[in-house]
């Protein structure tokens, strides 16, 4: 979410819990804004609305902040493609097998001859 949306979330919390952050320092309020900006605006608002219907005390960030899980599999796909290329090329496949054998030897505690 952006800065303005984070301010809206804080405003909504104040609507539900009027004493929220009344005695807080500027640094505390900025920290809330920074953390809220890491989250998803709409889902955070949904969680806040749900929280407010069930609780009488103001929320902590963990109660309302929704951070979308990022699944970056591009690097994994690139590695898979590289392995496929290595296995398809006889020369690269042989080098790959030699490296694998060397690694297995090292993992078993064997000495490296080089």
- Look over the chain and give the mean of its residue pLDDT values, rounded to a whole number: 90
Q: What is the pTM of this model?
A: 0.61
112 pLDDT higher than 70: no
Domain with CATH 1.10.8 in the chain: 3-64
Cα atoms found within 13 Å of the Cα of residue 100, Cβ hemisphere only? 9
What pLDDT digit, counting tens, does each position of 56-87 carry?
999 999 999 999 876 667 777 878 888 888 88
Helix axes 74-88, 90-107, angle to 10 degrees: 110
Q: Identify the pLDDT of residue 9.
A: 98
Contacts 24+ apart (CB under 8 A), 41-45: 41/1, 41/2, 41/5, 41/8, 41/9, 43/68, 44/1, 44/9, 45/8, 45/9, 45/12
Residue that wins the pLDDT comparison between 6 and 93: 6
Percent of the chain past pLDDT 90, that is, above it, reads 62
- Has domain 3-64 been given CATH number 2.30.29? no
Q: Identify the pLDDT of residue 85.
A: 86
């Amino acid at each position: 979410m952006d800065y303005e949306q984070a301010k809206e979330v804080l405003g909504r919390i104040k609507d539900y819990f009027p004493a929220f952050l009344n005695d807080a320092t500027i640094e505390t309020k900025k920290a809330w804004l920074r953390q809220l900006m890491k989250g998803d605006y709409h889902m955070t608002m949904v969680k806040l609305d749900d929280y407010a219907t069930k609780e009488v005390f103001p929320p902590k960030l963990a109660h309302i902040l929704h951070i979308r899980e990022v699944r970056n599999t591009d690097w994994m796909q690139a590695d898979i493609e590289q392995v496929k290329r290595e296995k398809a090329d006889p020369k690269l496949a042989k080098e790959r097998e030699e490296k694998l054998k060397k690694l297995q030897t090292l993992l078993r505690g064997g000495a490296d001859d080089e």
